[in-house]
Chain A
Amino acid sequence: MKKQRNFQVSIGTIMKVSFFQFFLFIFSLTYVYGHRVNAQDLLNTRVDLNLEQTDIRTVLSTLEKKADVKFVYSSRTIPINRKVSINVRNRSVAEIITEIFKPEVVNYKEVNNRIILNIQRNDTENKVSEIEMPLVAPPVEFLVKGKVTDEKNEGLPAVSVTVKNTKTGTLTNENGDYELKVDNGNVTLVFSSVGYIAQEVALGNRNTLNVVLAEDERVLEEVVVTALGIKKEEKALGYSIQKIGGDKIQKVAGVDVGTSLTGKVAGLLVRNSSDFASVPTVTIRGENPLIVIDGVPYQNKTLTDISAEDIESLNVLKGATASALYGFRGANGAILITTKNGSNKKGGISLDFTSNTMLTAGFLAIPEKQTLYGRGSNNTYDINSDNSWGVPMDGRNLVQWDPFEKVFKEKPYLPVGADNFQNFLEQGFISNNNLSVAYTNGKVSLRNSLNFIDNKGQYPNSTLNKYTYSIGGDINLDKLKISSNISYAKKTSPNISSNGYTSYDPMYTLLIWSSPDFNVLDYKDNYWITKGVLQNYTYGLQPDGSYKGASQNNPYFDRYQKTNEINRDIFNADVSVNYKLFPWLNATVRSGLDFYKEVGELRISQGSYVATGNTGVPGNPYTWAGTKTGGYVIGQNSGFSINTDALLTGDRSYKKFNFEYLAGGTIFFNRDDNMNAATAGGISIPEFFSIKASVTSPSINQTLYRKQVNSLFARLGVSWNKLLYLEATAREDWSSTLAKGNNSYFYPSIASSFVISELMPNTAEWLNLLKLRSSYTISKDIPGVYSINSNYSITNNTWNTLTGASMPSNLYPTDITPSAANTFETGLQGIFYNHRLTADVSYYAKKMYNGIITGPVSPATGFSGVYTNTKETTTRKGWEVILGGTPVKTRNLKWDAALNWSTYKRVYSALDPTYSAKKPWIAVGERVDVLASRDFLKTPAGDLIYNNGRLVYSSYDTRFGFTDPDWIWGFNNTVSYKNFTFYASLDGVVGGIMNTRTESYLWQSGNHPESLTPERAADVATPGSKNFLGNGVKVVSGTVTYDAFGKILTDTREFVKNDINTTYKQYVIDLHNSSAWGGNGSPTDTYSKSYLKLREIAVSYTLPAAYMKNVVKGATISLIGQNVFLWAKDFKYSDPDGGVEDFSDPSVRYVGAKLNLTF
């Protein structure tokens, strides 16, 4: 009871936290709203500034940061390299500007929240670029006008327009228009503005010259977000971080953001299963990354809970070093998601509406089946057999079930269900709609976003709806910054069914375990004989009227009377407060909370021939309920996580050195509750699905998991002259999942970046950046909640009314230490020709050791295992290459391309003499990702050995190959021509093997389209005859002995050619071993995972602004496609994209349109 109360207290506390945060946020908004910021305020912002002998450019940028203003000036008019000293306290921006430019007089003017600077020269001789009038210009002969815009077609103010090699020039006005009188029409004009790449254009006697200036990423210093939200210049990074702009994943919005992320990041593998409602799995360098949203590493909120439209950018922290400050949660890298906050708009209110609608249009892969032979298991007709090893469906008269009259009667036996599977499928679609409102007013910005996704799967009664609502706001005051986000996401489906070797999967029922001798459409809306009790299907009832049951249901019955409903709600809120204590010290407190609830419900009607099987609900993965009795199973997970960081950060410069420092702490708490219950003995009333319907006492289970990790950490970054960057971090964690007294552990990391290009000033023309980086870290991971506990298990009523208790079978020592990994990474990055070409190569080696395992011991010790740290060490080594660039760039045409490639291998680097498994392929230097199973028995020469005409499996495992891909790649292209944009994203996997379950069972059930062989025909012509002769040998004498691993020790066998027939069915069944339920896949069913996919395609047209007057600010219409084209090396009937092939649903192509409107 006491614990219960504590929990309530803590919930109360946490509720208070979020309400408090919420009120704080609202309060602050009102405060700032009443304090309207205008241009004069920008210039009146008061700051402290203390800089000695610093160039004006740096002074201005420092001032920009401190006063949160933006200056616009031309380096041709402003002496940016002049060194000045300034030491002021609490002075306005205007005063400071006046001060630093002395003795010159500076004009300043506020346009669109920017301050345009211009020098009013004292000496008239050099007075060249006054805004209105170029002076040194006689004789005036030629007038040129035009507009300078940015890439978004918005007018650029204050762009300097000068005649090359002269001092004649002007500046553009607020709308980007300019007017200039020049000597003649053959001069070259130079357009330049800070933050944009200067352009020289030959006038060529034109009177109108419009220019588009491209943003200069070099000047803007590409900024990436690193661990804990620290923004850093790309060149300062000592580890690999890849940034993806939100626009890259918004081209085509499907059900999940993960799909759009596929192939975009080197080393990031996204597995997109074709199964309905399956969430893409994302791994970085083969491991599961931490997801951090707006600085908060949530435990429960994931990529699937976010609308693509809400994402401003993604920063992928690939290795443990990059995410070292996240501690054990960042041991596998992290994906930092920054959501849009509305502040990047120009001000005022803006409304953005995006609608994607895609329909299924054909298949990339769909299984097929033979339509010649009907039901039977030994080449004869068997009305109860769900195999298709029967007689030809040639119109002969046979007793069959009539679904309409509901009787057995004789009728012609024909392949009326040849297209059963395709007929069963329905038109699917994805509709993804997003409406967002952003409002910016001076120092306050707000954003509201609503997303609705409607997904209809291919099977009947399969719909999935996702709703996301989020609101976020920022307040930027002089010293205080507050930002907060609140969002809610819901995901719901009345029936997500269940995929794989289970009767829930229509592939199991319609493709594998049935014959095409009935028309499934006859059973649509016609699945009852007795409503709620007895189903109408071609299998299950006997001609004598008895009720035998079957191992599958009517597929329509399965869709509507055996459902798997899911509901997931997740709410999260964060608030981040940043206060500038001193010019050199910032304090930040950031707290984020997520609360979730997910409910799974299985409802199975009394008429079902099959149980729920291995279909699970939260907390109960194998439910096995309801055969012929009906059942109701419910599982509910709920929980929350709260992560609070307190940070002190700052930076100081000393001569050419710059120091950045951080110290802070984190408290992370996570709680998960599960309750699950199931009816026992069936349900008492047909179609009454409730735990109350349980015939006998229902089973009920409860679990609770809590975890807290407290951390302290620090970081120090030192840079010298923008040439050399060094960074070190340290973190100490205290985890509640480790034994008391042994529960803290330490992670250090060190990273460096050496900007080689700084030493090569002469190459500045073509080389923007050349950087060498390297880093090293030790990361740790902790055991799960309760993992180190030794607990009794209790069996109620084990013997009549007596209760029994057992000790655990494993021994749990208290000296468990966290598992650890040492990661070394190095890389080279180059940026050439103003970002026209970028290249990045990384190499890493991650040595994983001290892993926590349950080591097997002899039961004679009293236990079957020991929970311990292993001495086995594995190392993952990999390469990543990113090439990007703009091969074509003219005024109207631009082609951006990005190519990424990555590879890794994980090998054993040391073995544990006691606990490492003993296999021939487990040795130092050998790969870990082995797929091993039983091969066919072969002679030393490699011939198949038949026994009594049948294939024989070896008694020992053989290594078939490796499951990890050899390499993965992605290739993304965007071609813009005037208002048209063409986008295509390709990706693929090369190498790696896996079993195909679809094809294996198509073969075994007699349904494979390639099984129509002459041998089979001969078997069917004379039932009982054996017509298949295996190509191989048989043993006539002698014996063979093996060592423990199946290596031949002695062999006296003599072989002759196999001359014993077997049936074709027997051969096929031997050749394709059952792999469900822990069986071993045969080598025949082991396929290469290699594939290439055209993932996304979009052709967009942006309506010219002129068409839209002032009603709509922007409109883009696109034709889009997702999952457009597939090539697979081995997989013909299914899509290997999911990484596992267990009755993968047909892979569908989605084609549709997208509309984006901005108001």
Chain B
Amino acid sequence: MKKITKIFASLSIVMLLGSCEKFEEFNTNPNVPSTVTPELLATQILKDTYRFWNPNPTDFGTANLWAKHAVMLETNPNPYQYYYSYSPYGSFGGMQKLPTLNKMAQLAEGNLNESSYKGLAKFMKAWYGIGMTLDMGDVPYSEAGKLEEGIRTPKYDKQEDVFKQILVDLKDAEALFAAGKSFNGDIMFGGNPVKWRRLANAVQLKVLNVLSKKSNS
């Protein structure tokens, strides 16, 4: 009887031991990071945005590259010859980057280069906005990228309002870069805020130029 009690006691203890690993930690994946630094996010987002994907010669005729210098002659015209964006279709894909931009700015808080990352976040949002509204006119902008706040169907803003907000965002970006320090992860300007400030200004001019024919606003 005593032996049996011992057997039972031992088995019960063993059973409990088998379970004493850290229950709470099992759902944490050790092979992926749960937090990152802002420069890692910046690198990937800049690459995803500005990388030129296709070495096909005709792609150099698309809007962003040589379109203002050369004329593309094709027997069957392609939509990409006429639209601003590379893709022949408009896409809200840029807005899908907004949570990443917010995260980048949030992760930089308290760092010396906080202002630069915040400027980059503002600038990139405006950049995506320009492409989107030129492709499609009225687009979600003011409420875009806010699913975490519960906005599942962001409202469409009038194109006029989108441009107004883009100009505000670019101005903010410019001011933030002006106050910013050099930052890491920048594959465009090596983290030089001065160059980014210039770009923010240039893009503002570009937007105003696009809007000049509708200057009533």
A807 to B101, CA, bound (A): 10
Any B CB within 8 A of the CB of A1079: no
Contact, CB under 8 Å: B18 / A863: no
Contact, CB under 8 Å: A862 / B146: yes
Number of interface residues of A (CB under 8 A): 61
Contact, CB under 8 Å: A3 / B27: no
Contact, CB under 8 Å: B154 / A858: yes
Interface string of B143-170 (1 = CB under 8 A from A): 0111110011110000000000000000
Any B CB within 8 A of the CB of A126: no
Any A CB within 8 A of the CB of B108: no
**Which residue of chain A has the shortest Cβ distance to B153 in the bound complex?**
A858
A235 to B112, CA, bound (A): 77
Contact, CB under 8 Å: A802 / B187: yes
**Which residue of chain B has the shortest Cβ distance to A914 in the bound complex?**
B152
Residues of A within 8 A of B140 (CB): 858, 860
Q: 8 Å CB contacts to A: which residues of B120-161? A: 139-140, 144-148, 151-154
A866 to B187, CA, bound (A): 31
Interface string of B54-80 (1 = CB under 8 A from A): 000000000000000000000000000
**Which residue of chain B has the shortest Cβ distance to A738 in the bound complex?**
B27
Contact, CB under 8 Å: A20 / B14: yes
Residues of A within 8 A of B48 (CB): 806
Chain A nearest CB from B45 CB (Å) reads 8
Residues of B within 8 A of A785 (CB): 26-27
Residues of B within 8 A of A861 (CB): 95, 144-147, 151-154
Residues of A within 8 A of B19 (CB): 644, 667, 669, 708, 710
A785 to B28, CA, bound (A): 9
Residues of A within 8 A of B146 (CB): 861-862
Q: 8 Å CB contacts to B: which residues of A652-707? A: 667, 669, 702-704, 706-707
Q: 8 Å CB contacts to B: which residues of A501-554? A: none
Residues of B within 8 A of A864 (CB): 96
Interface string of B195-217 (1 = CB under 8 A from A): 00000000000000000000000
Any B CB within 8 A of the CB of A740: yes
Chain A nearest CB from B5 CB (Å) reads 9
A803 to B37, CA, bound (A): 11
Interface string of A630-649 (1 = CB under 8 A from B): 00000000000010101000
A919 to B207, CA, bound (A): 41
Contact, CB under 8 Å: A806 / B44: yes
Residues of A within 8 A of B98 (CB): 862
Any B CB within 8 A of the CB of A1012: no
Contact, CB under 8 Å: B92 / A858: yes
Identify B41's interface contact among A788, A807, A858, CB under 8 A: A807
Q: 8 Å CB contacts to B: which residues of A1-45? A: 3, 6, 10, 13-14, 16-17, 20, 24
Any B CB within 8 A of the CB of A798: yes
**Which residue of chain B has the shortest Cβ distance to A593 in the bound complex?**
B18
Q: Given the known A-B contacts A669-B21, A803-B40, are A859 and B91 also in contact in the complex, defined by CB atoms under 8 Å?
A: yes
Contact, CB under 8 Å: A859 / B17: no
Any A CB within 8 A of the CB of B53: no
Residues of A within 8 A of B148 (CB): 811, 862
Interface string of B79-115 (1 = CB under 8 A from A): 0000000000001110110111001000000000000
Contact, CB under 8 Å: B32 / A857: no
Any B CB within 8 A of the CB of A737: yes
Chain B nearest CB from A397 CB (Å) reads 43
Chain B nearest CB from A649 CB (Å) reads 15
A667 to B100, CA, bound (A): 39
Residues of A within 8 A of B31 (CB): 702-704
A804 to B38, CA, bound (A): 10
Residues of B within 8 A of A807 (CB): 41, 99-100, 103
Q: 8 Å CB contacts to A: which residues of B1-56? A: 4, 7-8, 10-12, 14-15, 17-19, 21-36, 40-41, 43-45, 47-48
- Taking residues whose C-beta sits less than 8 angstroms from the other chain, chain B's interface range is 35 or more
A6 to B28, CA, bound (A): 14
A914 to B147, CA, bound (A): 14
Residues of A within 8 A of B95 (CB): 859-862
Contact, CB under 8 Å: A806 / B41: yes
Contact, CB under 8 Å: A860 / B27: no
Identify A791's interface contact among B32, B103, B187, CB under 8 A: B32
A737 to B28, CA, bound (A): 9
Chain A nearest CB from B97 CB (Å) reads 8
Residues of B within 8 A of A956 (CB): none
Contact, CB under 8 Å: A587 / B92: no
Identify A860's interface contact among B8, B29, B34, B92, CB under 8 A: B92
Residues of B within 8 A of A789 (CB): 27-29, 34
Residues of B within 8 A of A792 (CB): 32-36, 40
**Which residue of chain B has the shortest Cβ distance to A707 in the bound complex?**
B26
Count chain A CB atoms within 10 A of each CB in B25, B44, B185 and give the residue with the most.
Answer: B44
Contact, CB under 8 Å: B44 / A862: no
Any B CB within 8 A of the CB of A822: no
Residues of A within 8 A of B145 (CB): 860-862
Residues of B within 8 A of A914 (CB): 152
Q: Given the known A-B contacts A14-B18, A667-B18, are A589 and B11 also in contact in the complex, defined by CB atoms under 8 Å?
A: yes
A702 to B31, CA, bound (A): 7
Any B CB within 8 A of the CB of A892: no
Contact, CB under 8 Å: A740 / B24: yes
Contact, CB under 8 Å: B187 / A811: no
Any B CB within 8 A of the CB of A799: yes
Residues of A within 8 A of B4 (CB): 479-480, 579
Q: 8 Å CB contacts to B: which residues of A823-869? A: 857-864, 866
**Which residue of chain A has the shortest Cβ distance to B102 in the bound complex?**
A862
Any B CB within 8 A of the CB of A105: no
A1127 to B99, CA, bound (A): 58
Any B CB within 8 A of the CB of A786: yes
Chain B nearest CB from A775 CB (Å) reads 31
Q: Given the known A-B contacts A788-B27, A807-B99, are A646 and B43 also in contact in the complex, defined by CB atoms under 8 Å?
A: no
Contact, CB under 8 Å: A862 / B33: no
A618 to B50, CA, bound (A): 36
Residues of B within 8 A of A587 (CB): 8
A237 to B152, CA, bound (A): 49
Any B CB within 8 A of the CB of A591: yes
Chain B nearest CB from A1044 CB (Å) reads 17
Residues of B within 8 A of A122 (CB): none
Chain B nearest CB from A562 CB (Å) reads 30
A794 to B39, CA, bound (A): 12
A857 to B92, CA, bound (A): 11
**Which residue of chain A has the shortest Cβ distance to B139 in the bound complex?**
A860
A802 to B45, CA, bound (A): 12
Contact, CB under 8 Å: B14 / A17: yes
Any B CB within 8 A of the CB of A577: yes
Contact, CB under 8 Å: A799 / B99: no
**Which residue of chain B has the shortest Cβ distance to A862 in the bound complex?**
B145
Identify A591's interface contact among B15, B29, B47, B152, CB under 8 A: B15
Chain A nearest CB from B210 CB (Å) reads 22
Contact, CB under 8 Å: B8 / A866: no
By a beta-carbon cutoff of 8 Å, the part of chain B in contact with chain A is: 4, 7-8, 10-12, 14-15, 17-19, 21-36, 40-41, 43-45, 47-48, 91-93, 95-96, 98-100, 103, 139-140, 144-148, 151-154, 185, 187
By a beta-carbon cutoff of 8 Å, the part of chain A in contact with chain B is: 3, 6, 10, 13-14, 16-17, 20, 24, 479-480, 577, 579, 587, 589, 591, 642, 644, 646, 667, 669, 702-704, 706-708, 710, 734, 736-737, 740, 785-786, 788-789, 791-795, 798-799, 802-807, 809, 811, 857-864, 866, 914
The 7 A-B pairs at the shortest CB distance, nearest first, are namely A804-B44, A862-B145, A805-B40, A861-B147, A860-B92, A736-B26, A859-B96
Known: A737-B26, A860-B95, A861-B152. 17 other contacts (CB 8 A): A17-B17, A479-B4, A589-B15, A642-B18, A646-B15, A703-B31, A706-B27, A708-B21, A789-B29, A792-B35, A794-B40, A799-B43, A804-B40, A804-B43, A811-B147, A860-B154, A864-B96
Mind listing 17 A-B residue pairs with CB under 8 Å? A579-B8, A589-B11, A589-B15, A667-B19, A708-B19, A710-B19, A736-B23, A736-B24, A789-B27, A798-B43, A798-B47, A809-B96, A859-B95, A860-B95, A860-B145, A861-B152, A862-B95
